[in-house]
Amino acid sequence: MTTYHINSKLPSTGTTIFSVMSALAAEHKAINLSQGFPDFDCSLELKDMVNAAMQRGNNQYAPMPGLPQLREAIAGKVQRLYSTSINPDTEVTVTPGGTYAIFTAIATCIGPGDEVIVFEPAYDSYIPNILVNGGVPVRIPLQFPDYHIDWELVRAKVTARTKMIIINSPHNPTGSVLKASDLQQLEQLAEAHNLLVISDEVYEHLVYDGAQHESVLRYPNLLQRSFVTFSFGKVFHVTGWKMGYCIAPAHLMSEYRKVHQYLCFSVNTPMQHGLADYLQFPEHYLTLPDFFQKKRDYFLDLMKETRFTPLPCTGSYFQLMQYHGISDESDKDFAIRVTKEFGVATIPVSAFYQDGKDDKVIRFCFAKRRATLEQAAERLRRI
């Protein structure tokens, strides 16, 4: 029998480090601080709202852009947080997760030969999304150790083929956040070179120490050329629901929906009803910065008794740690050894670079119960 050969669109892609570390964690019964999901449950109120929607019979297809009441609730949240008016009918689309929202934006706009600027370390879906659609990723390193953007370097990388730039704030994996000056630089650059923008803001509420989340939604001129993506799963502790949304101006969203309708068409109906009801109470998202900052601070306090050195974390639910005072191993080898020998799984930050750049830094997820963090820290103190 002849085996049909497929020319892979992602020939260099194998098993992700997230799958590797989670499998190791399971094998060695390690505490899993590697993948970005909580080990605590979501709000009982939110579950009750979804269940009530199911019991009311809201179990069939939702409209392609999303339930009108959910899109209206999203528009209300945007107005409250960013003093920006968006049209829920033409500028919001509900998606099955934030990663999907990003892929759809890339698929809508990027074709063969189009260059897309990506900052590394980068969330692992960006570059494969670009490659699958025939685009050319242009990788620019964030500046270690605070992972800021060197805008002069960005300007030097822009060519006549540059079509898009992807930003992520709060940032995964580094925990850094963009400042107003960054958004102003981006706005000037995008206008000067007629660039599209994807702004990955899935951790929008997880900003600490009194800082303000500098959303693209605060910048009207920038918003007119942007797709802004969000995740209900990340902020409401329901990553398994795969619920997110995209905001873009009507002229971009109309093209986005043309692609979306053939990738997914309709998103989970009862969850949409439940989330629409849940968003009627702003405290559900306004209290998130304090909730997660307490977890960050508690984890950092526990880690003071270890030999790890923390890097600044001003957003997301990830804390980077240097281990240069412990070992000269590669970050991948070190992370694997810590999982096997000490029972705590982390992610090596080199996994977020295409070339494996290794600054001897590993990533911990602190979106965990206090008992989980305490147990992990007790094991890490033995290193």
pLDDT tens-digit readout, 323-378: 999 999 999 999 999 999 999 999 999 999 999 999 999 999 999 999 999 999 99
Instruction: Give residue 19's pLDDT.
Output: 87
Token pair listed for 194: 């007629």
Q: Are residues 337 and 194 both part of a single domain?
A: no
Q: Which of 281, 305, 340 is the last residue of a domain?
A: 281
Q: Are residues 225 and 304 both part of a single domain?
A: no
Number of domains in the chain: 2
For residue 319, pLDDT over 90 is answered with: yes
Please enumerate in sequence order all residues whose Cβ is within 8 A of that of 35, keeping only pairs 6 or more positions apart, or say none.
18, 21, 22, 347, 365
Q: Are residues 270 and 357 both part of a single domain?
A: no
Instruction: Give residue 14's pLDDT.
Output: 79
Q: Are residues 345 and 252 both part of a single domain?
A: no
Strands (E), 206-277: 226-231, 244-247
Q: Are strands 347-348 and 344-345 parallel, antiparallel or unpaired?
A: unpaired
For residue 313, pLDDT over 70 is answered with: yes
The answer to whether residue 50 is domain-embedded is: no
Please tell me whether residue 310 adopts helix, strand or coil conformation. Answer: strand
What CATH number should be reported for the domain holding residue 29? 3.90.1150.10
Instruction: Give residue 5's pLDDT.
Output: 81
Handedness of CA 97, 222, 276, 281 (dihedral sign): positive
For residue 39, pLDDT over 70 is answered with: yes
**CA–CA separation, 179 vs 177, rounded Å?**
7
Q: Which of 256, 281, 306 is the last residue of a domain?
A: 281
CB count in 10 Å sphere of residue 261: 13
The answer to whether residue 1 is domain-embedded is: no
Average pLDDT over residues 237-260: 98
Q: Are residues 277 and 301 both part of a single domain?
A: no
Give the Cα-Cα-Cα angle 288, 294, 299 (nearest 5 degrees): 130
Residue 92 β-bridge partners: 247
pLDDT band at 222 (very low <50, low <70, confident <90, very high): very high
- Residue where the block lists tokens 């929906």: 257
pLDDT digits (tens, 9 = 90+) for 269-281: 999 999 999 999 9
The pairs formed by 355-358 with CB atoms below 8 angstroms and a separation of 24 or more are 355/139, 357/120, 357/121, 357/141, 358/330, 358/331, 358/332
Angle (deg, nearest 10), helices 288-303 and 370-380:
20
Nearest Cα neighbor of 313 from 216, 206, 222 is 206
The answer to whether residue 358 is domain-embedded is: yes
**CA–CA separation, 105 vs 109, rounded Å?**
7
The answer to whether residue 224 is domain-embedded is: yes
Q: Are residues 362 and 250 both part of a single domain?
A: no
The answer to whether residue 305 is domain-embedded is: yes
For residue 1, pLDDT over 70 is answered with: no
Q: Are residues 206 and 229 both part of a single domain?
A: yes
Mean pLDDT, the chain, whole residue set: 97
Residue 228 β-bridge partners: 199, 247
Instruction: Give residue 16's pLDDT.
Output: 84
Q: Which of 252, 281, 310 is the last residue of a domain?
A: 281
Cβ distance 120 to 353 under 8 Å? yes
Among the residue ranges 11-25, 117-131, 167-181, 204-218, the one predicted with the least confidence is 11-25
Q: Are residues 31 and 111 both part of a single domain?
A: no
What CATH number should be reported for the domain holding residue 132? 3.40.640.10
Instruction: Give residue 213's pLDDT.
Output: 98
Q: List the domain range (segments joined by +) for residue 82.
A: 61-281
Residue 364 β-bridge partners: 319
Q: Are residues 242 and 144 both part of a single domain?
A: yes
- Residue where the block lists tokens 């989670």: 22
* Exposed e or buried b per residue across 203-242, where buried means at least 16 C-beta atoms within 10 angstroms of its C-beta: bbbbbbeeeebbbbbbbeebbebbbbbbbbbbbbbbbebb
Backbone angles phi, psi at 209, to 5 degrees: 60, 35
Q: Are residues 269 and 303 both part of a single domain?
A: no
Q: Are residues 372 and 234 both part of a single domain?
A: no
The answer to whether residue 56 is domain-embedded is: no
**CA–CA separation, 33 vs 320, rounded Å?**
11
pTM value surpassing 0.95: yes
The answer to whether residue 322 is domain-embedded is: yes
The pairs formed by 373-379 with CB atoms below 8 angstroms and a separation of 24 or more are 373/295, 373/298, 373/299, 373/302, 374/302, 375/31, 376/31, 376/33, 376/344, 377/299, 377/302, 377/303, 377/305, 377/306, 379/31, 379/342, 379/343, 379/344
Q: Are residues 223 and 120 both part of a single domain?
A: yes
**CA–CA separation, 339 vs 337, rounded Å?**
5
**CA–CA separation, 154 vs 135, rounded Å?**
18
